[in-house]
Amino acid sequence: MIQTEQIVEYVRTAAADVFSTMLGMEIESSPGYLDKTDPAVSDGVLAFIGLAGPWAGAGAISCTANFACQICAALLMTESRAVNEEVLDAVGEVTNMIIGNFKTLAEQHLGPLGLSIPTVIYGHNFTSRSTGHNDWIVLPFHCQGEAIEIRVCLAPAKDTKHAGNAHMISSLA
């Protein structure tokens, strides 16, 4: 089992650590809250990475297009004026590192967890929805005058038995 307070602490530790050591940036943490709704973005970048194992969930990081370019500049030492593939890769890599470090800390409580590949979405107006989860734990951060939001949801994995599954397996056996 893992408590919400521990998830909050581990995400903050992982985020502060990655921003500081990998990007040379200090981030400030604001109070977190629980949110039933999913992240919507009006003009920015949203990165997701899946967590899977005995507990399943996802981590998500959202920020403005401008701050995504700053992350890229800090990580890859290349200037980007607009969101391009390099910027999306940089945000994906930072997401991978933060949620990967969070995962390592959470594994002390939950046992081994797997991390999927990160997916980064960029657009001017899109909504997202993640199903089958409890509330998101939302942790706002500030860095260099910009807002960043990190979200995690994590719950014991359902034993996914699908109607089609048994049939399919038996038809291939």
Which spans of this chain sit near a copy of itself (rule: CB under 8 A)?
A: 13-14, 17-18, 20-22, 38, 48-53, 56-58, 60, 85, 88-89, 92-93, 96-97, 100-101, 104-105, 113-133, 153, 157, 160, 162-165, 167-169, 172
CB atoms closer than 10 angstroms to residue 3: 9
Classify residue 125 by its DSSP letter.
Answer: S
98 is written with which tokens?
């933060």
- Counted residue by residue, the chain has a size of 173
78 is written with which tokens?
């290349």
Q: Which is nearer to a copy of itself, 130 or 145 (CB)?
A: 130
Q: What distance in Å separates the CA atoms of residue 168 and residue 11, rounded to the nearest whole number?
A: 39
Minimal distance, residue 84 CB to a copy of itself, in Å: 10
Cα–Cα distances in angstroms (integers) from residue 55 to residues 11, 95, 97, 112, 146, in the given order: 16, 19, 19, 9, 32
Minimal distance, residue 22 CB to a copy of itself, in Å: 6
Q: Which is nearer to a copy of itself, 32 or 68 (CB)?
A: 68
Q: What distance in Å separates the CA atoms of residue 103 and residue 97, rounded to the nearest whole number?
A: 10
Q: Which is nearer to a copy of itself, 66 or 119 (CB)?
A: 119
Minimal distance, residue 33 CB to a copy of itself, in Å: 20
Minimal distance, residue 97 CB to a copy of itself, in Å: 5
